[in-house]
Chains A and B, each alone.
Chain A
Amino acid sequence: MPERYHIPTVPTPAQFRPIGKYAIVDWREDCARCRNCVKTACVNDVWSSERAYDRDPSSPVEPLYDCHACLSCVQGCTKGLLSLSINPEMLALGDSYWRPEMIATTWKQAETGRIPVSGAGYRGPFSGPGFDSMWTDMSEIVRPTRDGIHGREYISTSVDIGAKPMRLRFGANGELEAAEPLVEVPLPLVLDIPPWGRDGERLARARLEAAKRLGIPSTLRLEDIGLAQEDELPFVTPLIEPQDVAGQEPLLERLRMLEIEDASGALASFERARTANPDLVVAIRLPLRPDAAERVLELYSGGVKVIHLCADAQGCEIGVAHPRFIKEVLREVHTRLVQEGVRDEVTLIAGGGIALAEHMAKAIICGADLVAVGAPLMVALGCRVCGGDHDESCPIAIQEVEVDYAAQRMVNLMGAWHSQLIEVLGAMGIREVRRLRGETGRAMFLEDLDREAFGDIGY
């Protein structure tokens, strides 16, 4: 398989003990000490494999990371001594956006590098806010579909970041003028700085290492640029304030991509960076405010062709009382660009609130070319989304993380995302992710479905 279709995942068990969903309550009192103890009969062998973790043998509650809650032990115990409970630590994970099950599935994917599979149907709520109120299409019979999932044909997940002129331009003597630079990424995403907490040395190093292994650019604040080694510079996108561009020419010449904050002077700095290195892809990082669509068009007129829209960590607009979710804003921005006839020239990167592989696919359907992934990379390392500042109080000491291990966990997560994106594309009969962009006709939105199906049913 060509390299760009393959992500080298390696099973990488957590260096800390993950929090499992279930715990078994065992008061032990009354135990008959029978020889056919249900704990030894566990089909998944969870009791013995996790015995090492049971540091307090007198504790009645045993959290079991790998317990599937099949209840064979609870229901089989001779004296009925065992009960199942949900591990309260599990319920305390995350925040209103990062639900505990999202964190748990991300941990699992970072460990195995594989797509999460389970039986017995879907087990979540019918629908929810944000990305949970849309479904993607599948193709049934008459559309030609592809065989990409199981490998006979490839489904391309790569996209280009950069300006895409609508026609070739020739010089006075008929020679082809230099083409615009493009950065091809094998997955429709870039690695971004964490949306909360400090981007410490090891975290950043791990992200750069992952970026190199994946061939995907990673954003890094300018002040941290010293962490990048020379061979990593092609995979580094420094994030820079407009006024700091001046004087960075030697650095700019060695980069492929640069991101400038959208502050005053952004357009002038954009020009300066482009002049310093014409082969540089320069993006503007735009906070997602209600006027985002207007600002995108302004930037476009100013020559900016790569725009990174940054929602907050929950995927919401910034600075308004009733923020819209990024999916709505993306649809608006995309539609405006289409109406102006310039959509294909621009690369839109959507960041903020991208927590699961499905969010990547759905953000692209709503109009992004690719997404920016920040928080999931930390969750891959065991982050519990406690909202802390990555200081000494961090329960997993994220600043102390081993770089090689952390990079592999990030690569594994992206590998699992890759497989999941292919599932979505394969189901739709779409052979490359570029064609997924803005395909809202191949998606179903809750409000439309509900109106059509239940519109005539009264309350």
Chain B
Amino acid sequence: MTSATESRLPVSEGRRFYQMPQTAVEREVRPTPDRYRNPIGRYKVRRSADCRSCAVCVDICPYGVHLKPAGYALPLRPRDHLCIGPSCAETDHYCVEHCPNKALSVGRNPTADAIGDPRWTSDLLISTWQQAETGRVPADGLEYERGASGGGFDALRFRFPEEPPVRVDPAEINTCLDLNRRNDGRPEISIDLPIYGGGMSFGSVSIHVMIARARAAVAWNTFTCTGEGGYPDRLQPYDDHVITQVATGLFGVREDTIQRVRMVEFKYAQGAKPGLGGHLLGDKNTPDVARMRQAVEGNALFSPFPFHSVYSVEDHKKHIDWIKEINPRALVTVKVSTPTDVDMVAVGSYHAGAHIVHIDGSYGGTGAAPDIAKKNIAMPVEYAIPRVHRFLVEEGIRDEIVLMASGGIRTAHDVLKAIALGADGVVVGTAELVALGCIRCGACESGRGCARGIATTDRELTKQVEIDWATQRLINLFAAWREQMVDVLCRLGVKSVRELRGRTDCLRRVNWAEEGGDSGV
């Protein structure tokens, strides 16, 4: 846990800046139910007018679907998102069978069949919500490991040996990731999960979401990123776990925001709109956002592409040197997209002095982007990771730079698959938003923004997401993910995520056309 005093490092002579006392957040799983009145599950339980309120169902259901609080004449409407479905018939507590009046029925929830898409299936959405609620691996019957896109991570599986070659105690599994391998005298920062949060700006998401992400990052001793939209003052109690972004528009970048943090990210490109720069539509540029970005309210804000002062690795190095000079304790990460020459770009970033190169594949991204760009421009990250990893190995610099991957990491299994393909760790965004109740309706950019109060700066909509609730949902999600990661590593007989890096022998491919039946949609 972080406290106000530890982890402070001496600041170079002649420079003084003030850092707020840092706030600690407990890493503890607590049940955190959906914030909507009617949570969505895979099944729907109906209670007909034949019900005589005998409460047999209340007594037998171990999942808490049926409730009849003391003093109530009738049972409550079934909390059907907790129901495990018709497979319950095989158990001795199937309410439909035990109901003396045959008043109960269970069927698929039509809404569950209507949400989701091949990348984020209905099952993935529901299981992510469940993990955020309980902090545990989801219930039986949900496909929570992969989507149904037919390629990439979804067509990769782990090759589990019948018996792990080494017996590993789950308690021994190490999921830490060191972020500074350069041995350059800058701080050695280690995070407790091979995961940190991707850049989402104030403007693209609400301040509540930003704070919750930062608090969850504190709890898990990892990082979150401000994105390109300035550094809200309310994030200052979490400075030690915030990465601040320097992107092409330089919105809200100031010397003191660079000095506050332990990590600074240069964003050259992002996977959702590679080569196109950022874009905040005018509607979302509210007075608060405009002030933060030092821009005019109501104007659409474009980040140009690329950095107009960077046309070579030398220019790139010059920028990194500036940051290193301004903040002598900061690590520098460089976020790039996945062009044909992504391997060269990664090596260039190493030579320019970056500690981390972060490749953002084309299928991910949280912000609004042209559909044509998301689908067609730049390669999926699954293909970029092995290419970059191998090239760094061939260049003999693999162990001096950290390779982070993002752009379509949805599940704990995706995290480990990315690592087995050659990444050191991953960066997540959409998965966090889904944990906060995002349904991926994709209407982030329009009008007042997100109907679910996440990707919006509308003051009324923002209130839908409470900070404490959101913090806990994220802490829970990462707890559930860690549990799954530990389980996979145990079954593979690998003691740490570090050892899994580049272990493509732990993976196998599936022929989607032949095995397409297990799609989960």
Interface residues of A (CB under 8 A from B): 22, 25, 42-44, 68-72, 74-80, 83-86, 105, 115-127, 135-142, 144-145, 147, 149-150, 356-358, 361-362, 420, 423-424, 426-429, 441-442, 444, 449-450, 452-454, 456-459
Nearest-neighbour CB distance to chain B for A373, whole angstroms, equals 16
Q: What 10 additional pairs, Cβ within 8 angstroms, besides A138-B337, A459-B510?
A: A43-B461, A70-B452, A105-B371, A120-B444, A123-B118, A141-B336, A141-B345, A141-B348, A358-B376, A427-B377
For B306, what are the chain A residues with a Cβ–Cβ distance below 8 Å?
A: 139-141, 145
**A121 near B364: Cβ-Cβ < 8 Å:** yes
**Which of chain A's residues has its CB closest to B300's CB?**
A150
One of A22, A70, A442, A458 near B443 (C-beta < 8 A): A70
One of A83, A119, A457 near B504 (C-beta < 8 A): A457
**A75 near B36: Cβ-Cβ < 8 Å:** yes
B102 adjacent to chain A (CB < 8 Å): no
One of B113, B275, B304, B385 near A427 (C-beta < 8 A): B275
The A/B interface has a contact count, at CB < 8 Å, of 281
**A121 near B370: Cβ-Cβ < 8 Å:** no
Bound Cα distance A118, B110 (Å): 25
- Do A79 and B274 form a contact, CB below 8 Å, given A44-B447, A115-B372, A120-B444? no
**A68 near B443: Cβ-Cβ < 8 Å:** yes
**A121 near B408: Cβ-Cβ < 8 Å:** yes
One of B115, B307, B376, B433 near A71 (C-beta < 8 A): B115
**A117 near B151: Cβ-Cβ < 8 Å:** no
Q: Which 9 A-B pairs have the closest CB atoms?
A: A119-B444, A126-B151, A427-B275, A138-B275, A75-B36, A70-B451, A118-B442, A123-B117, A43-B451
Nearest-neighbour CB distance to chain B for A23, whole angstroms, equals 9
Identify which of B56-64, B91-99, B309-317, B394-402 touches chain A. Answer: B309-317
- Do A140 and B151 form a contact, CB below 8 Å, given A70-B441, A135-B362, A135-B379? no
A sample of 26 cross-chain residue pairs with beta-carbon separation below 8 angstroms, ordered by A number, consists of A43-B447, A44-B443, A71-B115, A86-B113, A115-B372, A117-B369, A117-B370, A119-B367, A120-B365, A121-B374, A121-B440, A122-B363, A122-B364, A123-B442, A125-B149, A135-B376, A135-B379, A136-B376, A139-B339, A141-B316, A358-B375, A420-B372, A424-B377, A444-B379, A456-B504, A459-B509
B497 adjacent to chain A (CB < 8 Å): no
**Which of chain B's residues has its CB closest to A72's CB?**
B451
For A427, what are the chain B residues with a Cβ–Cβ distance below 8 Å?
A: 273-276, 305, 373, 377-378
B120 adjacent to chain A (CB < 8 Å): yes
**Which of chain A's residues has its CB closest to B148's CB?**
A125
**B150 near A83: Cβ-Cβ < 8 Å:** no
Bound Cα distance A78, B77 (Å): 11
B511 adjacent to chain A (CB < 8 Å): yes
Bound Cα distance A119, B454 (Å): 12
**B374 near A122: Cβ-Cβ < 8 Å:** yes
**A452 near B371: Cβ-Cβ < 8 Å:** no
B436 adjacent to chain A (CB < 8 Å): no
Q: In the complex, how many residues of chain B place their beta carbon closer than 8 angstroms to a beta carbon of chain A?
A: 101
**B37 near A76: Cβ-Cβ < 8 Å:** yes
One of A70, A76, A139, A428 near B439 (C-beta < 8 A): A70
- Do A138 and B370 form a contact, CB below 8 Å, given A68-B451, A72-B452? no
Contact pattern, B 419-451, Cβ under 8 Å of A = 1, otherwise 0:
001000000001001000011111111111011
**B445 near A83: Cβ-Cβ < 8 Å:** no
Nearest-neighbour CB distance to chain B for A358, whole angstroms, equals 5
**Which of chain B's residues has its CB closest to A120's CB?**
B440
**B150 near A126: Cβ-Cβ < 8 Å:** yes
B109 adjacent to chain A (CB < 8 Å): yes
For A84, what are the chain B residues with a Cβ–Cβ distance below 8 Å?
A: 110-111, 114-115
**A127 near B370: Cβ-Cβ < 8 Å:** no
Bound Cα distance A357, B444 (Å): 23
B8 adjacent to chain A (CB < 8 Å): no
Q: Find residues 295-349 in chain B having any chain A CB closer than 8 Å to their own CB.
A: 302, 304-307, 310-313, 316, 336-337, 339-342, 345, 348
Nearest-neighbour CB distance to chain A for B84, whole angstroms, equals 19
For B114, what are the chain A residues with a Cβ–Cβ distance below 8 Å?
A: 22, 69, 83-86
Bound Cα distance A115, B445 (Å): 13
For A70, what are the chain B residues with a Cβ–Cβ distance below 8 Å?
A: 439, 441, 443, 450-452
**Which of chain B's residues has its CB closest to A128's CB?**
B150
For B504, what are the chain A residues with a Cβ–Cβ distance below 8 Å?
A: 456-457
Bound Cα distance A135, B302 (Å): 24
Q: Find residues 115-149 in chain B having any chain A CB closer than 8 Å to their own CB.
A: 115, 117-120, 149
Nearest-neighbour CB distance to chain B for A50, whole angstroms, equals 16
- Do A69 and B305 form a contact, CB below 8 Å, given A78-B37, A80-B37, A126-B155? no
For B379, what are the chain A residues with a Cβ–Cβ distance below 8 Å?
A: 135, 444, 449
